[in-house]
Amino acid sequence: MRGAPGGIVVLAGGVGGARFLLGVREHARASGREVTAVVNVGDDAWISGLRLCPDLDSVMYTLGGAADEERGWGRREESYRVSAELLAYGVGWPWFTLGDLDLGTLVARTGLLREGLPLSEATRRLAARWQLGVELLPASDDEAETHVVVPREDGRGSEELHFQEWWVRHRASREPSAFVTRGARPPAPAPGVLAAIASAEVVLIAPSNPVVSIGTILAIPGVVEALRGTEAPVVGVSPLIGGAALRGMAELCLRTIGVRPDAASVALHYGARSEAGILDGWLLDPADGELSPALSQAGITPLVRPILFTSLAETAAIAADAVALGA
Amino acid sequence: MRGAPGGIVVLAGGVGGARFLLGVREHARASGREVTAVVNVGDDAWISGLRLCPDLDSVMYTLGGAADEERGWGRREESYRVSAELLAYGVGWPWFTLGDLDLGTLVARTGLLREGLPLSEATRRLAARWQLGVELLPASDDEAETHVVVPREDGRGSEELHFQEWWVRHRASREPSAFVTRGARPPAPAPGVLAAIASAEVVLIAPSNPVVSIGTILAIPGVVEALRGTEAPVVGVSPLIGGAALRGMAELCLRTIGVRPDAASVALHYGARSEAGILDGWLLDPADGELSPALSQAGITPLVRPILFTSLAETAAIAADAVALGA
């Protein structure tokens, strides 16, 4: 069905994953490979009866050339007429402003889901418009949303917030004690995900948030087993440079799950395949070069090279080096 | 709960009903009465996962001062960015263009319905924004949508179209053989509808389509019994002048159900209360003055007076005369 041999499979979150995928697509076009993106759906939410899939849409808009690159999220030339109406009616999340163009995607998706289509099929239909040149797969068709355990504001005990509420409303200011997945049942991998991993030439882990983006994909039963079982090498790109994430709140999330926020600790958290983990190789920045021996020692082949996405050509070169590291 | 004694209850459809309600509200303010509008929901539909309630929204926008009076439907200063996206995705009804402001109402309503609120409560919350000065009740909380039986386009037998598809897509050009209601179960009157009728000072039948607007309300089990049982007089305003409807397709709908499209036949179709019908009085235009003896003879008190809504003051005067006719 998909994941043709010779293909590159990328596990990715939202904006960072989307930008990495631009480079992967560029490299894949040059080298005649196909690309399958397996995208995190843990950030998804129902908002005013509409299905929000921020990571899928970030990838779709970015690869489709419709993303607002300056702002870093959403659509270019966006407007907010519908959201102003929702605010006037006093419904929805007043702290979550959906653009009109973005709402078009949400309404279209919701209509397809309400017709009974699984998210993967709805995603395929939406993506067809954009001619992405990349197969876009949600990690799961199931609703399994990330919640964040934080102290209650009155200081008495803790409470759970939806990831979006924690991230967008509170700007991650309330210190989390845990991330948990909530849904009717454990999520299953979407059709095609495990097959794509099994038949891939190489699997890349995008420099997305290791906890709430990549971690959420890896938590889907069957995914880690597929990564461990595939003949394809699995190579990741560090989401941290010099101990800091380039975007988002990877450090905070890593500290929450007890992982030191540095380029090597993330790789060791994913683990070497030889040690019941998933990684064969890892790209880290020269700023973190001194951490590479620890990776070699743990059975993960390090490649030290600049990993900043300074241009499309450079991102494609990073992707090419990641593919080459696995070969 | 509602329908305070001294209140005017109006059974109404969309645009025509909304304009009549403007006059009723004007008269009610001047005379210290309360108004409850019981609005048709037979035109409602799910469109791309959103709940469309055209008649409720026409009434809400018109009484709220937000309607596009020139065009005759929808919101003023409307835009179509979301609909353009739906079209680009190839979803929804390409022949049904929803404005962005209108979509705000649909998204807000759908969010409330998805939270589990009945339509009547969702309507109450939406209407609160507009301070209508009229209590707005959907005729039913149940989904019971009007479908139209038309000949198949290949001439072989007949098929059912949703009312919106027949009306908006085909502009009522496919000759109907019947109107039918489709839903999971027979619709029940929304909370407050029967009580409002029972405790009303007067019940007015707006000059809305007698088949697909008023007829759909009357088809809800319990409504006709309430109209027959109330101590309030029931007075209607003819939707036809000189055999022609001022808007819509009342003639075609009436012919379909075997009623002659003239001002008296509509009243006789509703029937006199003394003859197992619902009407005590009926307003008809001087153009139809010669039909009034037939009404008197049937037990319906006629009032011949101009019934064109030429101004708000004139519409209020029509409403006042309708109320007075019942008294």
A48 reaches B (C-beta below 8 A): yes
Q: How many CB atoms lie within 10 A of CB B116?
A: 8
Contact B42, B144 (CB under 8 A): yes
Chain B residue numbers with beta carbons less than 8 Å from the beta carbon of A78 are none
pLDDT for B294 equals 96
Local confidence band at B2 (pLDDT 50, 70, 90 cut-offs): very low
Substitution target from B52, B85, B123 for chain A, most A beta carbons within 10 A: B85
Same-domain pairing of A151 and A32:
no
> The domain that contains A260 carries what CATH number?
3.40.50.10680
Determine, yes or no, domain membership for A296.
yes
Question: Residue B39 above 80 pLDDT?
Answer: yes
Q: What is the pLDDT of residues A49-81, one digit of tens each?
A: 999 999 999 999 999 999 998 887 899 999 999
**Mean of pLDDT values over A103-118:** 97
What is the pLDDT at residue B127?
98
Q: Are residues A197 and A297 in the same domain?
A: yes
**Lowest mean per-residue pLDDT among A44-58, A84-98, A186-200:** A84-98
Q: How far is CA A75 from CA A68, B30, B104, B154, B254, in A?
A: 5, 50, 19, 44, 49
Element (DSSP H or E) covering residue A310: none
Alpha helices in B38-186 (DSSP H): 54-63, 81-89, 100-114, 119-128, 163-164
**Among the listed residues B311, B308, B261, B305, the one whose alpha carbon sits nearest the alpha carbon of residue B282:** B305
The answer to whether the CB atoms of A101 and B110 lie below 8 A apart is no
Question: What residues contact residue A231 under an 8 Å CB cut-off, 6+ apart?
Answer: none
Report residue A49 as tokens: 């009866």
The reply to whether A322 falls in a domain is yes
CA angle B25, B29, B31 (to 5 degrees): 115
Look at residue A270 in the predicted model and tell me its pLDDT. 98
Are B233 and B258 in the same domain? yes
B171 and B234 co-located in one domain? no
CB-based contact, B104 to chain A, within 8 Å: yes
Residue A169 DSSP code: I
Residue B94 sits at the chain A interface (C-beta within 8 Å): no
Mean pLDDT within A120-145: 97
Alpha helices (H) along chain B:
15-31, 54-63, 81-89, 100-114, 119-128, 163-164, 193-199, 214-218, 223-229, 250-256, 263-270, 292-298, 312-326
CB contacts of A79 in chain B (<8 Å) are 79, 81, 100
pLDDT (0 to 100) of residue A73: 83
Mean pLDDT of A80-95: 92
**Which structural domain range is residue A153 located in?**
145-182
Q: Residue A312: enclosing H or E segment and its boundaries?
A: helix A312-326
E strand or H helix at A74: none
Whether A162 and A73 map to the same domain: the answer is no
Mean pLDDT of the A237-252 span = 86
Tell me the mean pLDDT in the region B14-32.
Answer: 94
Domain assignment of residue A2, yes or no: no
**Is residue A164 domain-shared with residue A242, that is, in the same domain?**
no
Q: What is the per-residue pLDDT across B56-76, written as a single tens digit (0 to 9) for each? A: 999 999 999 999 988 878 999
Cα–Cα distance list, B306 to A133, B21, B27, B32, B240 (Å):
66, 17, 17, 25, 12
* Nearest CB partner across the interface for A49, out of B79, B110, B129: B110
Do residues A76 and A195 both lie within one domain?
yes
Could you please report the per-residue DSSP string of B171-202?
Answer: TT-SPPSEEEEEESSPPPBPTTHHHHHHH-SE
Q: Is residue B2 situated within a structural domain? A: no
Structural domain contains residue B119: yes
Question: pLDDT class for A1, splitting at 50, 70, 90?
Answer: very low
pLDDT in tens, B248-291: 788 999 999 999 999 999 999 999 999 999 999 999 999 999 99
Question: For residue B88, what is the nearest residue in chain A, using CA coordinates?
Answer: A129
Question: What is d(CA B107, CA A96) in angstroms, rounded to the nearest whole number?
Answer: 14
Question: How would you classify the pairing of strands B45-47 and B50-52?
Answer: antiparallel
The partner residue sitting opposite B108, judged by closest CB among A91, A100, A125, is A91
Q: Which among B82, B90, B110 has the least Cβ separation from residue A82?
A: B82
A137 and A250 co-located in one domain: yes
Q: Give the tens place of pLDDT for each residue, B285-308.
A: 999 999 999 999 999 999 999 999
Given this model, what pLDDT does residue A196 score?
97
Residues A252 and A136 in one domain: yes
| Cβ within 8 Å, pair B100-A90 | no
Q: Is the pLDDT of residue A221 over 80?
A: yes
Collapsing DSSP to helix, strand or coil, B155 comes out as coil
What values do phi and psi take at B233, rounded to 5?
-70, 155
**Contact status of A111 with chain B (Cβ, < 8 Å):** yes
A279-301 tens-digit pLDDT: 999 999 999 999 999 999 999 99
Give the residue-averaged pLDDT of B22-40: 96
Cβ <8 Å between B50 and A110: yes
Please check whether residues B98 and B168 belong to one and the same domain: no
Within a domain: B236: yes
Based on the fold, state whether residues A51 and A118 are members of the same structural domain. yes
Residue A3 has pLDDT above 50, yes or no: no
What is the residue-averaged pLDDT of chain A?
A: 93
In chain A, positions 122-161, which contact chain B (CB-CB < 8 Å)? 125-126, 129
pTM for the model: 0.92
Both ends of chain A: CA-CA distance in Å? 25
Residue B278 lies in a domain: yes
Burial class (CB in 10 A: 0-12, 13-18, 19+), A13: buried
- The proportion of chain B whose per-residue pLDDT surpasses 90, expressed as a percent, equals 83
Output the average pLDDT for chain B.
94
Tally of domains within chain B: 2
Establish if A32 belongs to a structural domain. Answer: yes
Interface mutation target, options B52, B75, B81, B129, chain A, most CBs of A under 10 Å: B81
Both tokens of A246, joined, read 């380039």
ipTM: 0.90
Q: CB contact, 8 Å: B224 with chain A?
A: no
The pLDDT score that the predictor gives to residue A2 is: 40
Task: Output the pLDDT for position B85.
Answer: 96
Residues A118 and A165 in one domain: no
Task: For residue B110, give the nearest of A48, A88, A104 by CB distance.
Answer: A48
pLDDT value at residue B117 = 98
